[in-house]
Amino acid sequence: MADSTDAVLETPLAGLHRELGGRMVPFAGYAMPVQYPAGIMAEHLHCRAAASLFDVSHMGQAELVGEGAAAALERATPADVQVLKPGRQKYGLLTLDDGGILDDFMVANLGDRLFLVVNASRKHLDFPRIESLLPAGVTLKPLPDRALIALQGPGAVAAIATLAPGIAELAFMGVGHFTIAGVPALVSRSGYTGEDGVEVSVAAEDAEGFARALLALPGVLPAGLGARDSLRLEAGLCLYGNDIDETTSPVEAALTWTIGKRRRMAGDFPGAARVAQELADGTTRLRVGIRPEGRQPARGHTPVHAPGGAAIGEITSGGFGPSLNGPMAMGYVAREHAADGTALELMVRGKPLAARVAPMPFIPHRYAR
Q: What does 35-81 look like in DSSP terms, one character per residue?
A: E-TT-HHHHHHHHHHSEEEEE-TTSEEEEEESTTHHHHHTTT-SS--
Percent of the chain past pLDDT 90, that is, above it, reads: 97
Helix (H) or strand (E) holding 334: strand 326-334
Contact indicator for 275, 251 with CB cutoff of 8 Å = yes
Q: What confidence score (pLDDT) does residue 7 get?
A: 84
What is the number of domains present in the chain?
Answer: 2
Compute the average pLDDT of residues 136-140.
98
Task: Using the 3D structure, point to which of 234, 249, 275 is the last residue of a domain.
Answer: 234
Task: Using the 3D structure, point to which of 234, 265, 293 is the last residue of a domain.
Answer: 234
Name the pLDDT band for 6 (thresholds 50, 70, 90).
low
Compute the average pLDDT of residues 134-152.
98
Compute the average pLDDT of residues 341-367.
97
Q: Domain limits at 46?
A: 9-57+145-234
Residue at 163 is within a domain? yes
Using one digit for the tens of pLDDT, what is the confidence trace for 192-226? 999 999 999 999 999 999 999 999 999 999 999 99
Name the pLDDT band for 272 (thresholds 50, 70, 90).
very high
Residue at 90 is within a domain? no
Partner residues linked to 118 by β-bridges: 60, 105
Residues 307 and 184 in one domain: no
Q: What confidence score (pLDDT) does residue 5 get?
A: 41
Compute the average pLDDT of residues 3-31.
90
Residues 151 and 49 in one domain: yes
Using one digit for the tens of pLDDT, what is the confidence trace for 22-34? 999 999 999 999 9
Measured from the Cβ of residue 240, the count of other Cβ atoms closer than 10 Å reads 20
Burial class of residue 352 in the structure, from the number of CB atoms within 10 Å of its CB (0-12 exposed, 13-18 middle, 19+ buried): middle
Compute the average pLDDT of residues 252-266.
97
Residues 326 and 218 in one domain: no
Using one digit for the tens of pLDDT, what is the confidence trace for 40-78? 999 999 999 999 999 999 999 999 999 999 999 999 999
Task: Please determine, for residue 275, whether its predicted confidence score (pLDDT) is greater than 50.
Answer: yes
**Which residue type, as a one-letter code, is found at position 227?**
A
Residue at 304 is within a domain? yes
Contact indicator for 63, 141 with CB cutoff of 8 Å = yes
Residues 150 and 230 in one domain: yes
CA 277/CA 271 separation, integer angstroms: 10
Q: What confidence score (pLDDT) does residue 369 get?
A: 82
| Average pLDDT along the chain | 97
Helix (H) or strand (E) holding 200: strand 197-203
Q: What confidence score (pLDDT) does residue 2 get?
A: 41
Entry pTM: 0.96
Residues 293 and 181 in one domain: no
